[in-house]
Structure 1
Amino acid sequence: MDLTGKIVIVTGAGRGLGRTYALALAKAGAAVVVNDVDAESAERVADEAAALGARAVAEPGAVGATATAEALAERALQAFGRLDGLIANAGVLRDRILWKMSDDDFDTVIDVHLRGTFTCVRAAVQRMRSQGEGGRIVVIGSPAGQRGNVGQTNYSAAKAAIVGMVRTWAMECSRDRIAVNAVIPVAATSMTKSIPVFEPHVRAWEERGEPLPEWLRAGAGFGTPEDAAGLPVFLLSDAAGAITGQAIGIGGDRLSLWSHPREAVSAHREGGWDADAIASAWPSVFGPGIESYGIPAVEAPEA
């Protein structure tokens, strides 16, 4: 995939998936604006991208504030003369069960993930519309936002809302030929290492270079950050120009297209539905269509 001449901002690119995305873009020929809240990490990744032959600059800052988003967009224009793409990846975790989650736990995650995605996409789209040559927006979602997850009220809410914004932005940006999509990655990172079933395998991969087992790669769609990098690169390319408004999953050996929320079951009753009519119809009409929720449990196979 050749992205030569493309200028792309990657937020939260100092480590983990963000770093992997930035380096994958560099390998594909794109110029990269590397953002991270930690200035040293942003500079280090920009240097790594430059060592691959790419043009790269660091623009540190905490994602969320409009000032950071504006600084990122302006840095792209100042350093490279234009802006073609954005990967809105920056995020934090503050996991707590509902009744123990503080206002600060909730607000911090919402500010970085949700507001940060909004402000960065807004700033990028404004520049792309002014250029008049289209563009590509990739935002990073999560299975937690698609399915829910225990202890992640804040994170699940933010990630679900991000995919909701993608569907709206795809409509709003279509006339300007700006494609907007969400990537739903599952990969070995500091965020997933805390999950007990993944932890020993992630640690073995990190510390000893052992490959992740096949039952994780294929069965759970769980792989390395590098396994998840091809999809954003593709979505930022000219080959993906007709793809917009989608949530696309990637991890390990699995690539998937997530469905949008839709009516699973519907029924009509002349005169409408009172509580007694709902109670009467529910067991036979709606009960069989009840939807599951939560990320499906993953268990290691028997030895």
Structure 2
Amino acid sequence: MSGHLSGKAVVVTGAGRGLGAAYARLAAAEGASVIVNDVDPASAAAVVTEIRAAGGRAEAAAGSVATWAGAGAIIDACVAAFGAIDGLVNNAGIFRLANPVEQDPDEFRAVVEVNVLGSAYCGLHAIRAMLPRGTGSIVNVTSGSHAGSAAMGAYGASKGAVASLTYCWAADLAGSGVRVNAVSPNAHTAMADTYEAYLGAAAQGQNVNKSPAQNAPAVVYLLSDAAADLHGQVVRIDGDELSLIAHPTVQGHGALNPAWTVSAVAAAFAADAVGVLSEVGLHRTP
């Protein structure tokens, strides 16, 4: 099968449904041999069956990404089945909503273990398999919620960590032939339904008509050789719009003082000398 990923072996985590399944389907349609991972074996097997029925090549690797051994087994499954690993989409994630005063600490920990440690563990195993070959592409999945969204302390923090992981690995791997980028997708999935039900009218409709499949081409592009010059970037897909999310940056020139005091800091803010205050949430720069 020819395509943008012809001859490549790719792992997609959390690919039993929603966005992950869309990534796996398009990767296979574009010629990749795909490891479909999901914590639910039946969901992973169903996506594999669908890919094979369409003429693609896929194998299931059920299991959690949240342990070092589990993540390693998923990456090893790709090498065992297809002889190498050329791409990894760190899509597996869980979603919990809570006001801070009602946040369950065990749920917070679970979000961090799956979303942060799962991405880190799979990525670390993949990097170690890719570096000796001098080629590979890792696509992490972050979210605009890391800029600030109500009731998303755990999820937003986890996705902020994934963005920072992307920046750091990009610095580590510069010039190695292994690339690391991230996507910030938006689609109407079961996660969106949960979010809209929790926030009610404040959230209703924001993901309507945004299909998981609409996010998949950007992910496949980042996995492909066509994106050879992209490294350390966060690509945002929001319906029909494709854009980039800026890295954290220091605004303006700041205020200078050789011996800061509390009063001097207060004066600098009062005089607007420090810089423009940022709004909470994801916003577009002029």
The answer to whether TM tops 0.5 is: yes
Gaps of 5+ in 1: 206-211, 213-222, 297-303
Look up the match of 1:215: none
Amino acid at match of 1:175: G
- Label 1:250 to 1:278 Cα distance change in 2 as closer, same or farther (>3 A): same
- Please give the residue correspondences for 1:229-268 in structure 2 after superposition, counting only pairs within 5 Å: 229-268=216-255
Amino acid at match of 2:110: T
Amino acid at match of 1:148: G
Amino acid at match of 1:117: S
Gaps of 5+ in 2: none
| Contact in 1 for aligned 2:252/2:275 (Cα 8 Å) | no
Look up the match of 1:172: 172
Look up the match of 2:159: 159
Percent identity (aligned): 36
Look up the match of 1:58: 60
Counterpart CA distance in 2 for 1:151 and 1:286 is 32
More displaced, 275-284 or 83-92? 275-284
Are 2:35 and 1:33 equivalent residues in the alignment? Answer: yes
Amino acid at match of 1:292: E
Q: CA deviation at 1:49?
A: 1.2
Q: CA deviation at 1:244?
A: 0.5
1:281-301 deviation per Cα after TM superposition (whole angstroms, max 9, x unaligned)? 2122247601001257xxxxx
Look up the match of 1:279: 266
Q: CA deviation at 1:34?
A: 0.3
1:255-279 deviation per Cα after TM superposition (whole angstroms, max 9, x unaligned)? 0111111111343434222111111
Look up the match of 1:133: 134
Amino acid at match of 1:228: N
More displaced, 83-92 or 265-274? 265-274
Counterpart CA distance in 2 for 1:246 and 1:170 is 9
- Label 1:201 to 1:261 Cα distance change in 2 as closer, same or farther (>3 A): closer
TM-score, normalized by length of structure 2?
A: 0.92
Secondary structure of the residue aligned to 1:46 is helix
Are 2:106 and 1:104 equivalent residues in the alignment? Answer: yes
| Contact in 2 for aligned 1:26/1:52 (Cα 8 Å) | no
Q: CA deviation at 1:117?
A: 0.2
Counterpart CA distance in 1 for 2:228 and 2:236 is 18
- Please tell me the root mean square deviation across aligned C-alpha atoms, in Å: 1.7
Look up the match of 2:81: 79
Counterpart CA distance in 2 for 1:143 and 1:79 is 35
Secondary structure of the residue aligned to 1:273 is coil
- Label 1:200 to 1:164 Cα distance change in 2 as closer, same or farther (>3 A): closer
Q: CA deviation at 1:200?
A: 5.9
The number of residue pairs the alignment matches comes to 276
Look up the match of 1:219: none
Counterpart CA distance in 2 for 1:224 and 1:170 is 29
Q: CA deviation at 1:169?
A: 0.3
Counterpart CA distance in 2 for 1:287 and 1:37 is 47
Counterpart CA distance in 1 for 2:206 and 2:75 is 38
1:40-65 deviation per Cα after TM superposition (whole angstroms, max 9, x unaligned)? 00000011111121110000001110
TM-score, normalized by length of structure 1?
A: 0.87
More displaced, 274-283 or 101-110? 274-283
Counterpart CA distance in 1 for 2:5 and 2:141 is 20
- Please give the residue correspondences for 1:285-296 in structure 2 after superposition, counting only pairs within 5 Å: 285-286=272-273, 289-295=276-282
Counterpart CA distance in 2 for 1:201 and 1:83 is 36
Q: CA deviation at 1:175?
A: 3.1
- Please give the residue correspondences for 1:178-257 in structure 2 after superposition, counting only pairs within 5 Å: 178-193=178-193, 194-195=195-196, 196=200, 199=204, 212=209, 223-257=210-244
Counterpart CA distance in 2 for 1:16 and 1:192 is 11
Counterpart CA distance in 1 for 2:23 and 2:112 is 23
Counterpart CA distance in 2 for 1:74 and 1:264 is 44
Look up the match of 1:144: 145
Counterpart CA distance in 2 for 1:286 and 1:42 is 54
